[in-house]
Amino acid sequence: MSKRVFIIVLDSLGVGEAPDAASYGDSGSNTLRALCSSPKLYTPNLTRLGLYNIDQVGCGAPSENPAAAFARMAEASKGKDTTTGHWELAGIISQRAMPTYPDGFPKEVIRQLTEETGRGILCNKPYSGTAVIADYGQRHLQTGSLIVYTSADSVLQIAAHEQVVPVDELYRCCEIARKIMTGQHSVGRIIARPFEGEHPHFVRTANRHDYSLAPPGKTMLDYLHESYFDTIGVGKIYDIFAGQGLSESYRTVSNNDGMNRAMELLEAEFEGICFINLVDFDMHYGHRNDVDGYAQALTDFDAQLGDFLERMEEEDLLIITADHGCDPSTPSTDHSREYVPMLLYGKTIKSGVNLGARATFADVAATVLEYLGVKGDIAGVSFLKEAKI
């Protein structure tokens, strides 16, 4: 029987402030605890696995007999963004945080972007993606200038109306931006943000496209791919790794779509890894400080999880984790520097094993490689022997 590992990343589901949270301005952050304050939260399957048994999680009712092995993991990398978190889950610890631009991009960047795209630039500030098109969309329609903005993440985003700047042209501008944003300006992602509609009712379309940095070294995906295992990405995984090390990839439009794809792959024949990112938690709820919306999204995921657990095969492993926090109950709309959960479940895994506090997310990568019998020069310490029957 084929060995398969499914990693589901609940994007931004932190479980309490990390030891260095204060240096990131995140003292007291606890994304999961914030959700536990909502009447919308109902997570019987995550509870059964042992989510609330994790050390110092600070909320929820622990299971008397947790079905999974569980731990909390600290981030060893500098930063608290999506790219850095996923790279660390895959075995790379980033020694330098990716650059952010709380005051907008430097003049030389904007000048180069203007010259090489042939278009003017609007905004150049940190901004909400929906607010920026509301505030600058009309001027964009009048001038054809690109709406360039950032956030607390290491990103440069370009928004444009599809009837003013066709999607292919927007993508070309983003490719130019990707070439410009290198060296000291190596942001994690350049993001194309097309929109449509008429003022004041602009809406973003589904034609978003991310241009990510390639990982600086080999990840578990590369080592598995080189060893002829299937390496399948679902959701943002292709963008986060710039396609590196992936044999197959599926884009998704929602958490529900991502889990439906995961269920389809659970029924498919493959050997290797299926790496799934569910971004709605972060994008739609964490950044918008929507506690109830986030709680409802986790409730919806939990319902799909129950079906997933029932269909798992004898040699399947499931790892549920996160890439950072984004506490929706704090004034900040930024990511938060938190521990992330780790639930390890499968028919060959001991139930109720407390794997403690892990020093790095990269322990996940080390565990996956050990389970599939592949050697790789990555960070992390496998917890497989502690958890396997």
What CATH number does the domain containing 218 carry? 3.40.720.10
Question: Domain boundary residue among 212, 229, 244?
Answer: 212
Does residue 102 lie in a domain region?
no
Question: Domain boundary residue among 194, 212, 230?
Answer: 212
CA angle 123/129/135 to nearest 5° reads 50
Residue 215: exposure state from Cβ atoms within 10 A (0-12, 13-18, ≥19): buried
Given this model, what pLDDT does residue 375 score?
Answer: 97
Residue 150 sits at φ, ψ, to 5 deg, of -140, -170
Given this model, what pLDDT does residue 152 score?
Answer: 80
Given this model, what pLDDT does residue 206 score?
Answer: 86
185 and 252 fall within a common domain: no
Q: Token pair of 49, please?
A: 């696995």
326 and 240 fall within a common domain: yes
310 and 285 fall within a common domain: yes
218 and 323 fall within a common domain: yes
What range defines the domain where residue 89 resides? 4-97+214-387
Residue 324: exposure state from Cβ atoms within 10 A (0-12, 13-18, ≥19): buried
45 and 67 fall within a common domain: yes
Q: What is the CATH number of the domain that holds 146?
A: 3.30.70.1250
Residue 114 sits at φ, ψ, to 5 deg, of -65, -45
205 and 224 fall within a common domain: no
Residue 368 sits at φ, ψ, to 5 deg, of -60, -45
Mean pLDDT, consecutive 10-residue stretches, the chain (389 aa), reads 94 98 96 98 98 97 97 97 95 94 97 98 95 97 98 93 98 98 94 96 92 94 98 95 96 96 97 97 94 98 98 98 98 94 98 98 98 97 96
207 and 157 fall within a common domain: yes
Q: Token pair of 4, please?
A: 């398969």
Question: Does residue 292 sit in helix, strand or coil?
Answer: helix
The answer to whether residues 92 and 79 touch, using CB atoms and an 8 Å cutoff, is no
- Domain total for the chain? 2
The CA distance from 115 to 132, in Å, is 23
* Global confidence as pTM: 0.92
73 and 171 fall within a common domain: no
The answer to whether residues 33 and 58 touch, using CB atoms and an 8 Å cutoff, is yes
39 and 181 fall within a common domain: no
Could you tell me which residues come within 8 angstroms of residue 58 by beta carbon, excluding any fewer than 6 positions away? Answer: 15, 16, 30, 32, 33
Q: Tell me which residue of 18, 59, 55 sits closest to 355, measured CA to CA.
A: 55
The answer to whether residues 322 and 12 touch, using CB atoms and an 8 Å cutoff, is yes
Question: Domain boundary residue among 150, 177, 212?
Answer: 212
The answer to whether residues 132 and 149 touch, using CB atoms and an 8 Å cutoff, is yes
Sign of CA dihedral 237, 329, 320, 388: positive
126 and 236 fall within a common domain: no
